[in-house]
Amino acid sequence: MEIIFDKSSLSDSLYQSSVDDDFAEKESLSVSSIDESSLHYTKFDFSHPSCFVFIDGTVQHITSGKIKTENSDVSFDVFFMCVAAGYDNGKLIGTKISKFLLLYCDYPNQLDIKDVLPNIRSEGQSNYFSDYKVIQVPKEKGMLEHAVNLLREEEFEFLYWFCKNGALSDGKYIVVIDGNIRLKKLKDEIENFIVVGVVKNPLNLYQAENEIRDLMSGFRTKLFKVKDQKSSKSKFSFFLRLGQDELKTNEFDFLRIDFIGKPFENLAYAVYFSDFIKNKILSFSSSIGERAPKNLVPFRILEKRIRAVLGNENIRRRKAEEELKRIFQYT
């Protein structure tokens, strides 16, 4: 067995995909709009957490190549992913780096991973080779799609770890993640927390295209309740038009804001929170940066912290290739 690296493959950072991943749940969702006019409340009726924690991640394509066995050659890609949490003032709370080894095959069940990696071990439903998580990927799917999907999974696992291990006090923090809240993936650990998802390029518009088009800067649509029919879990969503100057607002400068939490069993509170979080999101928005105004300032700061943690790509690639060569010598 031999591992051969593709020297023509450059190591590039892959950030969030230009399209968010909420298409995966589209077919199983039921959507209903909330009649906000029938809900009466004042701002004194509710209290909400005042502290925000942001969770985001980035992925580096480290290297690629082939694993040569007696029977076949298997192409692979290696990705390192770093997920981090930080306060809205930029202070870093914690980070996690994960390593992924993606093996490509023509058909999903064609490749027996143990034929390629005899020393592979299983932990739950996952396979590991040394400290690399091994995933079998059909060739027809692009590596960027898989990388971003894995990054989303890592961000959610990081969120669960924070909630489960008491790193955050429930009821005190609002946790904001970069991307869609996947109802199918929700676990009971986060039910006591308020979690907000910021979807930059939503595919699911909940048939609100006309309302979104007519929005003025700083305004939101009506509130939607979105339920996953398979898991019976639900979330609330609305669309928000960004931009400080209506004349300069791009028609695509809107976000979808998802949120979940036990307090929202009270619909009046859900409506009140929609207005509260709308104003906070607008305050976090900025015209500075390549992906402005959609890339909120706390996310932009967190991304800089993450890049510093990951370090130089060329150095990391060289170390990873040396590590993989050493591992394969004992396979």
3-class state of residue 12 by DSSP: coil
The 8-class DSSP code of residue 20 comes to -
β-strands 51-68, 173-178: how paired?
Answer: parallel
Rounded mean pLDDT, 229-257: 79
Q: φ, ψ for residue 316 (rounded to 5)?
A: -65, -40
Q: Which helix (H) or strand (E) holds 229?
A: none
- Digit-coded pLDDT (tens) for 16-56: 444 455 555 666 889 999 999 888 777 667 777 778 999 99
Average pLDDT of the residues of the chain: 83
Q: Which of 46-60, 182-196, 252-266 has the lowest mean pLDDT?
A: 182-196
d(C-alpha 150, C-alpha 215), whole Å: 34
Looking at the structure of the chain, the number of domains it has is 1
The answer to whether the beta carbons of residues 242 and 282 sit under 8 Å apart is: yes
d(C-alpha 255, C-alpha 280), whole Å: 13
* Percent of residues in the chain assigned helix, strand, coil, to nearest 5: 30, 30, 35
pTM above 0.75, yes or no: yes
More confident position, 131 or 116: 131
Q: Is residue 328 part of a domain?
A: no
Q: Is residue 327 part of a domain?
A: no
CA-based end-to-end distance of the chain: 8
Sign of CA dihedral 5, 6, 10, 11: negative
pLDDT at 250: 59
Is pLDDT above 60 for 83?
yes
Is pLDDT above 60 for 11?
no
The answer to whether the beta carbons of residues 157 and 133 sit under 8 Å apart is: no
Q: Which helix (H) or strand (E) holds 270?
A: helix 267-284
Q: Is residue 269 part of a domain?
A: yes
- Digit-coded pLDDT (tens) for 282-326: 999 987 767 778 889 999 999 889 988 888 888 889 999 999 888
pLDDT at 19: 46
More confident position, 109 or 238: 238
Q: Is residue 63 part of a domain?
A: yes
Its domain, for residue 145, covers 2-319
Q: Is residue 308 part of a domain?
A: yes
3-class state of residue 287 by DSSP: coil
Residue 3 token pair: 């591992």
- Digit-coded pLDDT (tens) for 213-237: 999 999 999 999 999 888 888 999 9
pLDDT at 86: 93
Closest to 31 (Cα-Cα) out of 229, 215, 177, 202: 229
Is pLDDT above 70 for 58?
yes
Rounded mean pLDDT, 107-120: 72
The answer to whether the beta carbons of residues 137 and 102 sit under 8 Å apart is: yes
Other beta carbons within 10 angstroms of residue 93's beta carbon come to: 15
pLDDT at 22: 56
Write the Ramachandran bin of 86: left for phi over 0, alpha for psi from -120 to 50, otherwise beta.
Answer: beta
3-class state of residue 269 by DSSP: helix
**CA angle (32, 40, 260) in 5-degree steps:** 45
The answer to whether the beta carbons of residues 112 and 78 sit under 8 Å apart is: no
Q: Is residue 301 part of a domain?
A: yes
